[in-house]
Structures are given as structure tokens and as C-alpha cells.
């Protein structure tokens, strides 16, 4: 494993249900490979916070644990990955979340990123984090995040050193509004119905790699790095 490699990577797609550890692992990939994490959930939350037109529409949908329509999310992703920091690769966290988004992404990457690179399918790395349902519930109900630096904690599994405060900057940790139990169930339902077919789509085209996301965070990370290194 090369620490802080600057080779061209990906794009990398991290798939998995809410609570699988996509956010935590994406941040580690971002640091190790120097490619930005593109989290559609984070971008939508920023829009809600800034009260943009998109944020205004997305707010209620997100509060119900449902998916924001593709017509809004796809252009948002296009705009983000066209930024220059994505030129050497990026890691998608929370996208694609429907089979239609996956089809859109293939077409988009084909046109905008893979024009001169063959064979392009080898360059797209799709990694699924597979996690047991009860473990997901435990992770989601215990999840806290830092509003300042975005670091994620879990009161059961990965508590901060000082109760409710971020280890890095001391900010008071927050619970996401969609991490309430009723909303969590809705989000897991949306995953089973709409996002599981995305994994099937990549599996059927031979591009899906799977990692056991039930393992402790520090054991999952090297497996992800290994899969990425083997594709480079
Ligand atoms: P996340 O932070 O990835 O769990 O996303 C939080 C919420 O943002 C989801 O429950 C959806 O309401 C919305 N969202 C995030 N990514 C997408 C996406 N790719 N498509 C539709 N809605 C999304």
C-alpha cells in the first residue's frame, strides 16, 4: 500500500446501505489517494443549510427518508465532478442510488471522463460495503457528527473522548434529523427497494467488488485500499 499516492484513481463508487460506513471510509480514501469525496447527502445538506432552491425542495424529502428525484441529483453530481479537483479521480459516496442514476452515470462518465481512456470499465471501481441489518440499526441510532469538520462518531461503537464533543475541534456533536428511528426504517426500505438494484446492475456487468462492512472500521479500510490498488 503506497501512503498518499498521487496516481490517477477511479472514479471510485462506494455502495452500501445507510450506516454501512460509506462516509467514514470515503474520507479515508480521500486522504490516502488525494481524491475528493463527493457525497450527495453532504451536498444536499449544504444546500438545505444555505436555503438554496434545491435545498428547499430536498429538505422535506430528506426528512421523510425518501430519495430526492434524479432530475435534481444528477445535475448536482455533474456540476461537482466537473470541478478541477476531480480531474484525477473522485470517490462517490451515496451516488448512484437508483438503477436510473447508475445508467446516467455510465453515460456521463463515458462522455466526459473516458473519451481517451480504454478500456474504461476497468477504471470504474465499485465497492459494496455489506452490513448486517441489526448492526446497521445500532450504527444509525448511535451516529453523531461534527457540524464543523464532518467527522463521524458512534456513541456505542466509536465514542468521542469527551461525551458529545468532537475530538478534533471540540464542537458539540449533532444527530442528523434523518437518524430518528422511524426515518431510519424508511431509509433502509428505500435502500432495499431502490439501491439494491444498483449493486445488481454493477454485479451483472462484472464490476462489483464486495467488502465485509461488519468488521471494525480499521479492518475495512485496508480491504478497500487493496481493491483500489489492484485496479490501478
Ligand atoms: P446520505 O447522507 O447519503 O445518507 O443521504 C441523506 C439523504 O439525502 C438521503 O436519505 C436522501 O434523501 C438524499 N440523497 C442522498 N443521495 C441521494 C441520491 N443519490 N439520490 C437521491 N437522494 C439522495
Query: Contact at 8 Å (CB) between 40 and 51?
Result: no
Dihedral sign computed on CA atoms, order 184, 46, 55, 43: negative
Cβ of 215 closer than 6 Å to ligand 1, yes or no, is: no
Cβ of 14 closer than 6 Å to ligand 1, yes or no, is: no
Cβ of 18 closer than 6 Å to ligand 1, yes or no, is: yes
Per-residue confidence (pLDDT) for residue 119, from 0 to 100: 43
> If you count them, how many residues does the chain have?
232
For residue 159, the SS3 value is: coil
Query: Tens-digit pLDDT profile for the chain (232 aa)?
Result: 334 555 667 799 999 999 899 999 999 999 999 999 999 999 999 999 999 999 999 999 999 989 999 999 999 999 999 999 988 889 999 999 999 999 999 999 888 776 644 444 447 899 999 999 888 888 889 989 999 998 889 998 889 999 999 999 999 999 988 888 889 988 999 898 988 899 999 999 888 999 999 998 899 999 999 999 988 7
pTM score: 0.84
Distance from Cα 219 to the centre of ligand 1, integer Å: 26
DSSP for 76-143 reads HHHHHHTSGGGTT--EEES---SHHHHHHHHHHHHHHT-TT-SSGGGG-EEEEEE--HHHHHHHHHTE
Per-residue confidence (pLDDT) for residue 121, from 0 to 100: 41
Closest atom of ligand 1 relative to the 93 alpha carbon: 3
Q: Does domain 12-132+195-231 have CATH number 3.40.50.300?
A: yes
Per-residue confidence (pLDDT) for residue 110, from 0 to 100: 84
Atom 6 of ligand 1, nearest CA residue: 41
State which of 63, 94, 131, 192 you would mutate to test the pocket of ligand 1, scoring each by most atoms of that ligand within 8 A of its C-beta: 94
Eight-class DSSP state of 177: G
Per-residue confidence (pLDDT) for residue 198, from 0 to 100: 95
Q: 90-107 burial, b for 16+ CB within 10 Å, e for fewer?
A: bbbbbbbbbbebbebbbe
Query: Contact at 8 Å (CB) between 146 and 168?
Result: yes
Cβ of 179 closer than 6 Å to ligand 1, yes or no, is: no
Atom 2 of ligand 1, nearest CA residue: 41
Cβ of 20 closer than 6 Å to ligand 1, yes or no, is: no
Mode of pairing for the β-strands spanning 143-145 and 152-154: antiparallel
Closest atom of ligand 1 relative to the 42 alpha carbon: 2
State which of 68, 103, 108 you would mutate to test the pocket of ligand 1, scoring each by most atoms of that ligand within 8 A of its C-beta: 68
Cβ of 32 closer than 6 Å to ligand 1, yes or no, is: no
Closest atom of ligand 1 relative to the 190 alpha carbon: 10
Q: Which residues pair with 37 in a beta bridge?
A: 91
Which residues form the catalytic set?
22, 97, 143, 176, 187
Closest atom of ligand 1 relative to the 69 alpha carbon: 21
In the chain, domain spans: 12-132+195-231
Per-residue confidence (pLDDT) for residue 102, from 0 to 100: 94
Contacts of 71 (CB under 8 A, 6+ apart): none
Amino acid at each position: 500500500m503506497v501512503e498518499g499516492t498521487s496516481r490517477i484513481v477511479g472514479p471510485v463508487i462506494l455502495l452500501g446501505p445507510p450506516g454501512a460506513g460509506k462516509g467514514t471510509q470515503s474520507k479515508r480514501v480521500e486522504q490516502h489517494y488525494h481524491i475528493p469525496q463527493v457525497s450527495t447527502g453532504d451536498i444536499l445538506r449544504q444546500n438545505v443549510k444555505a436555503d438554496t432552491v434545491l435545498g428547499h425542495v430536498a429538505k422535506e424529502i430528506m426528512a421523510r427518508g425518501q430519495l430526492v428525484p434524479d432530475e435534481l441529483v444528477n445535475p448536482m453530481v455533474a456540476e461537482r465532478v466537473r470541478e478541477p479537483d476531480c480531474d484525477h479521480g473522485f470517490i462517490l459516496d451515496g451516488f448512484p442510488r437508483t438503477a436510473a442514476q447508475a445508467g446516467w452515470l455510465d453515460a456521463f462518465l463515458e462522455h466526459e471522463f473516458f473519451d481517451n481512456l480504454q478500456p474504461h470499465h476497468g477504471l470504474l471501481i465499485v465497492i459494496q460495503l455489506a452490513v448486517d441489518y441489526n448492526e446497521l440499526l445500532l450504527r444509525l441510532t448511535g451516529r453523531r457528527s461534527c457540524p464543523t469538520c464532518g467527522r463521524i462518531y458512534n456513541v456505542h461503537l466509536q465514542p468521542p473522548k469527551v461525551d458529545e464533543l468532537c475530538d478534533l475541534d471540540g464542537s458539540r456533536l449533532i444527530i442528523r434529523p434523518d437518524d430518528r428511528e422511524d426515518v431510519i426504517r424508511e431509509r433502509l426500505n428505500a435502500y432495499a427497494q431502490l439501491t439494491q438494484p444498483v449493486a445488481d446492475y454493477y454485479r451483472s456487468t462484472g464490476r462489483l467488488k464486495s467488502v465485509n462492512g461488519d468488521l471494525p472500521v480499521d479492518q475495512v479500510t485496508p480491504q478497500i485500499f487493496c481493491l483500489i490498488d489492484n485496479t490501478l
